[in-house]
Structure 1
Amino acid sequence: MANIPGAAQLFDELDKKLMVYLRDGRTLIGYLRSVDQFANLVLHRTIERIHVGDRYGDIDRGVFVIRGENVVLLGEIDEAREHAPSAASLTKVSIEEILEAQRVEQERKQEQDMLRSRFMKERGLQYMAEIGPDDMY
């Protein structure tokens, strides 16, 4: 097959299960149903996967339209290996549990940034927290 540059290469991925990492830090998994010249994507049977430490949870999202400029990374999921045990296996937990773990992790990071900022300010320096997905817009 010829090497087609740009968004046209995504046509080879139609009807395949993809993992898409977005600029806002979310990870989506779903079947690619449509793509256009701007790399806008339509995913079907989409889930949002949230990772915290060695745990993860999935939230059903259904049909999901993604603007192409928000895609950081995407790749095909090998469905044959998707559920096979691996050396770095993760534990699936309930939606409630993973959302609570995510909230606790975000609070811990904010507290850590506050302490770091206070420490730097006492020494006459200005601390700027790393730019995270929530700070991009």
Structure 2
Amino acid sequence: MGFTYGDVPKGLYIVRGENVVLMGEIDLDKEDEIPQNVASSIPSSAIPQLLEALAAENEYKDKWERRRNAVLRRERGFSGEGVEGDSY
């Protein structure tokens, strides 16, 4: 969340498909450095608070998105997603 990071074990991810592409150039001199002004690590004991803050932020974004969509439907004539007439 923001510029804070922490390690949360998620298990094994399997990525399938030929459309997966990773591009970039690695600077071997700076690969292991993380500038302090870019990101800061948190202790593992603070991860529950971080997850709570992330859930609150996601809830706020969802509420904002629902209000935005309601205004677009009501005042601008947009249709909802997945409603009749939405198919291509």
Pick one of 29, 32, 35 that aligns with 1:86. 35
- 1:108 aligns with 60
1:55 partnered with 2:4: yes
Aligned residues: 78
Partner letter of residue 51 of structure 2? Answer: L
Unaligned ranges ≥5, structure 1 = 1-51, 130-137
Structural RMSD (CA): 3.4
Partner letter of residue 113 of structure 1? Answer: E
- Give the structure with the larger strand fraction: 1
TM-score of the two chains, using structure 2 as the length reference: 0.55
* Percent identity for Structure 1 against Structure 2: 32
Structure 1 residues 114 and 73, CA, compared in 2 at 3 Å: closer, same or farther?
A: same
Partner letter of residue 110 of structure 1? Answer: D
Pick one of 67, 71, 77 that aligns with 1:119. 71
Partner letter of residue 105 of structure 1? Answer: E
Higher relative contact order (CA 8 A, sep 6+): 2
Partner letter of residue 33 of structure 2? Answer: A
State the SS of the aligned residue for 1:126. Answer: coil
